[in-house]
């Protein structure tokens, strides 16, 4: 009988479990902050001068009247106070759900999705460890000198950065402070 080669079982992609945990964290955050924001609105804890005017400007944009709002008896453009061109793509949400709560949910979802680029940035930086003897530590000849880091450890550390992003009090406060254009820039800046 001839000896056979050992059977190679394909290893699962390192960090696959981390992706599942990451998307669970994103989903939980989006659902939680959507619910909190909607509850604050339903409890009349939102204001005409913030959410009301922004809602009207975005709704008018969805109807072809770019960022128009009314103040008293005047119809004005919101551009007299703020330049928020992001309202144009945001106005598309009213084509799906014509309700101010759609803005609150959209903001919560976009801020939660920001955890994804944080994870990717952290993963990239953790994989590029400090240089030793002029070579990066990720090169094979250096691995014995500095010790190898498990891909699962790297994924877990990147998850910790994503969790820190989602738990950051200032980001959470921006999420529940009605709807504003500035917090929407967070995930866009992280992707850039």
pLDDT at residue number 5:
59
Expressed as residue numbers, the domain containing 114 is: 16-129+148-191
Residue 141 within any structural domain of the chain: no
Provide the token pair at 104: 């609150």
Residue 139 within any structural domain of the chain: no
Residue 5 within any structural domain of the chain: no
Domain count, the chain: 1
CA–CA gap between residue 57 and residue 53 (Å, rounded): 6
Residue 132: which pLDDT band, with cuts at 50, 70 and 90? low
The residue among 158 and 79 whose pLDDT is bigger is: 158
Residue 2 within any structural domain of the chain: no
Residue 6 within any structural domain of the chain: no
CA–CA gap between residue 160 and residue 110 (Å, rounded): 19
CA–CA gap between residue 151 and residue 127 (Å, rounded): 9
Assess whether pLDDT exceeds 50 at residue 10.
Answer: no
User: Residue 112 half-sphere exposure, CB side, CA atoms within 13 Å?
Assistant: 20
Residue 163 within any structural domain of the chain: yes
Provide the token pair at 72: 């008293």
Assess whether pLDDT exceeds 50 at residue 148.
Answer: yes
pLDDT at residue number 68:
93
CA-CA-CA-CA torsion sign (73, 79, 83, 84): positive
Q: What is the pTM of this model?
A: 0.82
């Amino acid at each position: 009988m001839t000896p056979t080669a050992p059977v190679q079982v394909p290893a699962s992609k390192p960090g696959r479990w981390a992706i599942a945990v990451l998307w669970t964290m994103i989903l939980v955050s989006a659902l939680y902050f959507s619910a909190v924001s909607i509850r604050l609105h339903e409890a009349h804890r939102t204001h005409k001068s913030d959410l009301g005017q922004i809602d009207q400007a975005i709704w008018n944009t969805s109807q072809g009247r770019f960022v128009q709002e009314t103040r008293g008896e005047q119809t004005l453009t919101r551009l007299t106070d703020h330049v928020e061109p992001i309202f144009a793509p945001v106005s598309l949400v009213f084509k799906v759900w014509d309700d101010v709560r759609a803005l609150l949910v959209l903001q919560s979802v976009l801020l939660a999705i920001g955890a994804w680029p944080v994870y990717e940035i952290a993963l990239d930086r953790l994989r590029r460890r400090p240089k030793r003897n002029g070579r990066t530590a990720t090169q094979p000849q250096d691995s014995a000198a500095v010790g190898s880091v498990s891909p699962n450890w790297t994924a877990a550390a990147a998850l910790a950065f994503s969790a820190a992003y989602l738990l950051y009090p200032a980001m959470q406060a921006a999420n529940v402070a009605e709807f504003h254009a500035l917090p929407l820039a967070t995930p866009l800046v992280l992707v850039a």
